[in-house]
Amino acid sequence: MNEVQEIIRREIRQSISVKEKILQDESMLAALEQMALAIINAIKSGGKILICGNGGSAADALHFASELVGRFRNDRIPIPAIALNADAAAMTSISNDYGFRYIYSRQIEALMCDKDILIAISTSGNSDNIAEAINSAHEKGGKVFLLTGGTGGKAIEKADLAFAVPSDITSHIQEAHECVYHIICGIVEDANFTQT
């Protein structure tokens, strides 16, 4: 076996190991179930889902929102979800006028109501703009779910529900996050959101 193939095998094994740890942790599975059911209840009550993150987690926010608004596996009514990092004009104007740490909190102040859920995605849980987003969501009376990794950083104590991937390797945390939000999308999509 050559060196490159060994790197490939090692990375795949590490990724599988992280998901195996999640599979064996009943508290993590329970948190995932609670998140999915709360999202269903929020949507059925007229709420919406706001999602945010930085870097790869921003891409995950876009992916997650698109699966809800569009479709995941089945045709059904669109589910109201907004990736807060999708609006480049809002992000750059807020960053310019108020500072980068407020790019999400300012949008949350404008868009969120008490029926809504904020899903904050942060592999470290230590991003200042995520902390401000969580604070603003609570001020608006909404719920906050955190997808994070490792110890969850400073954000984990502020979230109503947190899912901390048991890894300190960013790439493997992100891989697990994609698995998690795909599971949520499937559960939400199956919750009688039929095509009109």
Task: Please tell me the predicted confidence (pLDDT) of residue 128.
Answer: 97
| pLDDT value, residue 49 | 98
Whether 61 contacts 87, CB under 8 Å: no
Which pLDDT belongs to residue 193?
A: 62
pLDDT for 192:
66
Domains contained in the chain, CATH given: 3-189 (3.40.50.10490)
What is the predicted pLDDT for the residue at 166? Answer: 97
The pTM score is 0.94
Residue 110: Cβ-neighbour burial (10 angstroms; 0-12, 13-18, 19+): exposed
Give the pair of three-digit tokens for residue 84: 């807060």
Q: State the alpha helices, DSSP H only, in 24-151.
A: 26-44, 56-69, 88-97, 105-111, 128-139
Q: Residue 179, Cβ neighbours under 10 Å: how many?
A: 16
Position 123 scores a pLDDT of 97
- pLDDT digits over 99-125, tens only? 999 999 999 999 999 999 999 999 999
Average confidence (pLDDT) over 13-42: 97
- The span from the CA of 88 to the CA of 27, in Å, is 37
**Mean of the pLDDT values across residues 81-100?**
97
pLDDT in tens, 123-177: 999 999 999 999 999 999 999 999 999 999 999 999 999 999 999 999 999 999 9
- What pLDDT score does 1 carry? 67
Mean pLDDT of 73-90: 95
Mean pLDDT of all residues in the chain? 95
